[in-house]
Amino acid sequence: MTTENGMLFDESELDYSGELRAADVKECDAVEVMTRLAEKIERWDREYYVLDDPSVSDAEYDRTFNLLKALEEKFPAKKSPTSPTMRVGGAVRSDLAKVVHSRPMLSIHTETDFSAEGAVAFDKRVRNELGLTDEDPAVRYDCEMKFDGLAVAMRYEKGILVQAATRGDGTTGEDVTANVRTIRTIPLKLTGKDVPDVLEVRGEVIMHREDFVALNRRQIEVGQKTFVNPRNAAAGSLRQLDPSITAKRTLHFYAYALGEVSGERFADTQSGVLDRLKKMGFPVADNRRVVEGPKALEEFHREIQMLRPTLDFDIDGVVYKVDSLDLEERLGFLSREPRWACAHKYPPEEATTVCEAIDIQVGRTGKLTPVARLRPVFVGGVTVSNATLHNEDHIAALGLVPGDTVVVRRAGDVIPEVVRVVTEKRTDGAVPFVMPAVCPVCGSATIRDEEEKDTRCTGGLYCPSQMKLGIVHFASRRAMGIDGLGEKIVEMLVDEKVVTSIADIFKLSEEVLTAPLTKQDETKKRVQKRMGPKAAANLLESVEKAKNTTFARFIFALGCRHVGEATALSLAQHFGTLAALEAASVEELTAVEDVGEIIAQSVAAFFKEPHNQKVIAELVEAGVKWPAVPKRTESSAVAGKTFVLTGTLPTMSRDEAKDLLIAAGAKVSGSVSKKTDYVVAGAEAGSKLEKALTLGVKVIDQAEMLALLKADEAETAE
Ligand code: IVH
């Protein structure tokens, strides 16, 4: 067993395959191996129960724990009296007041066989214990979800919540009364004649996944540590010395058992207990059911597994409980575990593996996404070999270095994620990851967007990854306005390699457009063409028309990040010519109205990229042109003013009116506010007109708008 470097066993074996079995351990090594395992478990228990910050996955913990248990069974004489397997639960946090439980809070036997056999084995044990034969009827079970949170006992005296305690080590828990009172769904007072004098309700405090994600986001914002999973976030939030912190976290509670109860029997069945608790106002989860026999248990297990990804919160299995409380009494306990209940778990959603490399993917918008290439690992029911890492900051927050051992999580259909790094397993010489300075797809320079915290390829006009979206935007109505060049056609033209750059749009011919598709659908009889002759002719006509554009539209069409219509117009008016815009420095760009540092950086990087320059030159060469940009005058009646268009104008569409106004330097907004200068109202104007009248905004018609524009023109001409 002892390896060259003096280690008792290869630890990695334990992590990935759980190969070390009790059968492999010889008697002479037993004490040493068991001590090692116990030490590990003690450390992990402390991380889990005291620090709320575990470093290993549940699966790795369970495997190690079960191995120790198996060794203790094999060598009973060597079992330590202080072994962690003797504990019912975890540890008690020393700075919270202690509470001795009226009745111990026990754990339940966990069926480690994830398959249907787990349910069959449990039913068999129960029938055996009860001395039932095959002729006897099926046993009735109450089936529930197994919540993945922390167990809490709440004591009501004369209907008033007087104490709440965590499970702690099962005998002694921590006083969290003030904290539990902040959980909104927990009743503070029970009313009604039938409330027992003493009633202890037990259940699970959990955090919903959505709230967990939001909490971690807030923690990052304020520079605090994040939580590993919703369970630890729930535990960390409840076990606070200051209840005002608990109050800020959204926690939920679900009741599933009773502790001490005074007076008559509360109910005759477990399902009856839950029904009555629900009536009293306690949250009791749906998705529970009373069934008969092992087949139905299996069915429940399977059904809830399907529901699992759609739930608002994490569960790690289901719990079967003998429904009749008479039978429960007869069954009793076996070494601190009830014989009448059993947890049937699901395959773990978390697993430990190695991140072998970090690769980069370039998305349709040019965003560079780092992806972890993982040593394949079975998690959440599938083999996972990749996980998204979102961006550079996420990698930094994780503290991930290629080669690290990582915990991967995959719940349901959710994309696998690296949830944390097992830093202790980092090997020497690990080289930190850096975002590449050039796009791995097209070689253009990359730029980091500080606002969005991501990195993008600046070769928007050139990068194959961005081609399709780029062309659709270029052709769109308010950009170059090329009719008939929608998403589907663009997709086809790019896939057919007819268009490899935006400039290729102006080189299209009828012959190319109506040629047969390279990839023919074999099932169809007739030859499929790229386009019909009519559609091709229409497209060519609108391409030709689109060559005559405005400078502002052209800038907008290039699809430079952060440059919307308004910014494009400001740039056009400020620089006047393409040459001037291309030569502008970041500093010069920030001098433009409405252009801040981030836009300026993005624009400068875009025009500096040689790949983009080449495409722009090709566009101009292909005949794209625009009239000289009129200089904006300060005294303009329209420039800088905000207009809202509403209703049907007599001789032009609202879109045409918008173009005219924008070209003259006006802003056109979709909604009326106090800042609106003019509302141009046509026939059947509705709520916008009403709002203008209430706010006292000036309302004009199309003729008055044209007059304002005319006045401007006259001034510009002077
Ligand atoms: S019954 C004596 N029902 O699972 C049995 N437990 O090891 C009392 N748990 O720590 C527990 N969902 O926190 C029961 N529907 C459920 C449960 C549940 C989660 C937890 C509980 C306990 C552990 C049992």
Q: Is the CB of 146 under 6 A from ligand 1?
A: yes
Atom in ligand 1 nearest the alpha carbon of residue 204: 13
Instruction: Write the residue with the smallest CA distance to atom 21 of ligand 1.
Output: 151
Concatenated DSSP letters of 535-591: HHHHHHHHHHHHTB--HHHHHHHTT-TT--HHHHHHHHHHH-SHHHHHH--HHHHHT
Question: How many of the other CB atoms lie within 10 Å of CB of 89?
Answer: 21
d(CA 291, CA 24): 41
Instruction: Write the residue with the smallest CA distance to atom 12 of ligand 1.
Output: 146
pLDDT at position 91 is 61
- Return the percentage of the chain with pLDDT > 70, whole number: 93
Report yes or no: 508 and 404 within 8 Å, Cβ to Cβ.
Answer: no
d(CA 300, CA 308): 12
pLDDT at position 11 is 37
Lowest mean pLDDT among 565-574, 577-586, 709-718: 709-718
Q: Phi, psi (5° rounding) for residue 369?
A: -115, 120
In which band, very low, low, confident or very high, does the pLDDT at 512 lie, cut at 50, 70 and 90?
A: very high
Question: How many of the other CB atoms lie within 10 Å of CB of 292?
Answer: 13
pLDDT at position 717 is 46
Q: Tell me: the pLDDT tens digits for 59-101?
A: 778 788 888 988 988 898 888 877 887 665 566 666 889 999 9
User: What 3-state class would DSSP assign to 242?
Assistant: coil
What is the average per-residue pLDDT within 671-692?
92
CA of 128 from ligand 1 middle (Å) equals 23
pLDDT above 80 (res 453): yes
Instruction: Write the residue with the smallest CA distance to atom 7 of ligand 1.
Output: 107
Q: Which residue has the tokens 């969005």?
A: 452
- Run of H or E including 13: helix 11-16
d(CA 245, CA 253): 17
CA of 147 from ligand 1 middle (Å) equals 7
Q: Is the CB of 106 under 6 A from ligand 1?
A: yes
Q: Tell me: the pLDDT tens digits for 37-49?
A: 999 888 888 787 7
pLDDT at position 87 is 64
CA distances for 326 relative to 9, 134, 198, 330, angstroms: 48, 21, 21, 6
In which band, very low, low, confident or very high, does the pLDDT at 2 lie, cut at 50, 70 and 90?
A: very low
Q: Tell me: the pLDDT tens digits for 91-116?
A: 666 688 999 999 999 888 887 677 77
d(CA 703, CA 698): 14
Q: Is the CB of 319 under 6 A from ligand 1?
A: yes
Q: Which residue has the tokens 């590449």?
A: 436
Report yes or no: 492 and 514 within 8 Å, Cβ to Cβ.
Answer: no
Based on its alpha-carbon atoms, the radius of gyration of the chain, rounded to whole angstroms, reads: 35
pLDDT above 90 (res 604): yes
Atom in ligand 1 nearest the alpha carbon of residue 145: 15
The count of C-alpha atoms lying within 13 angstroms of the C-alpha of 96, restricted to the half-sphere facing its C-beta, is 27
Three state DSSP letters for 280-336 = CCCCCCCCCEEEEHHHHHHHHHHHHHHHHHHCCCCEEEEEEEECEHHHHHHHCEECC
pLDDT at position 195 is 94
Q: Tell me: the pLDDT tens digits for 197-230?
A: 999 999 999 999 899 989 988 988 888 887 878 8
Q: What are the structure tokens assigned to 12, written together?
A: 């990695």
Instruction: Write the residue with the smallest CA distance to atom 2 of ligand 1.
Output: 106
Q: Tell me: the pLDDT tens digits for 227-245?
A: 878 898 999 999 988 888 8
C-alpha dihedral, 492 to 495 to 497 to 503, nearest 10°: 60
What is the average per-residue pLDDT within 483-504?
91
Q: Is the CB of 151 under 6 A from ligand 1?
A: yes
Q: What are the structure tokens assigned to 48, written together?
A: 């889990």
CA of 341 from ligand 1 middle (Å) equals 9
pLDDT at position 169 is 87
Atom in ligand 1 nearest the alpha carbon of residue 108: 7
Q: Is the CB of 256 under 6 A from ligand 1?
A: yes
CA of 68 from ligand 1 middle (Å) equals 23
d(CA 596, CA 567): 10
pLDDT at position 25 is 86
Question: How many of the other CB atoms lie within 10 Å of CB of 293?
Answer: 16
CA of 150 from ligand 1 middle (Å) equals 9
Q: Is the CB of 147 under 6 A from ligand 1?
A: yes
User: What 3-state class would DSSP assign to 697?
Assistant: coil
Instruction: Write the residue with the smallest CA distance to atom 9 of ligand 1.
Output: 146
CA of 92 from ligand 1 middle (Å) equals 18
Nearest to 47 by CA among 420, 400, 396: 420
Interaxial angle between packed helices 467-475 and 487-495, expressed in degrees from 0 to 180 and rounded to the nearest 10: 140
Lowest mean pLDDT among 107-116, 350-359, 365-374, 457-466: 107-116
Instruction: Write the residue with the smallest CA distance to atom 22 of ligand 1.
Output: 107
Q: Tell me: the pLDDT tens digits for 400-429?
A: 999 999 999 886 667 899 988 988 888 888
Using left for φ > 0, alpha for ψ between -120 and 50, and beta otherwise, residue 645 falls in: beta
Report yes or no: 83 and 38 within 8 Å, Cβ to Cβ.
Answer: yes
Atom in ligand 1 nearest the alpha carbon of residue 167: 10
d(CA 364, CA 361): 10
What is the average per-residue pLDDT within 508-522?
90
pLDDT at position 268 is 97
d(CA 167, CA 163): 13
pLDDT above 90 (res 149): yes
Nearest to 41 by CA among 25, 58, 28: 58
Q: Is the CB of 338 under 6 A from ligand 1?
A: yes
Question: How many of the other CB atoms lie within 10 Å of CB of 470?
Answer: 26
Cα separation of the two ends of the chain: 96
Report yes or no: 439 and 447 within 8 Å, Cβ to Cβ.
Answer: no
With 0.85 as the threshold, say if the pTM is over it.
Answer: no
Catalytic residue among 40, 146, 367, 667: 146
Concatenated DSSP letters of 174-210: EB-HHHHTT-TTS-SB--STT--SEEEEEEEEE--HH
Nearest to 96 by CA among 243, 227, 274, 204: 243
CA of 107 from ligand 1 middle (Å) equals 7
Higher pLDDT, 696 or 92: 696
Catalytic residue flag (residue 146) = yes
DSSP H helical ranges for 102-258:
117-130, 177-180, 209-221, 230-238, 243-248
pLDDT at position 10 is 36
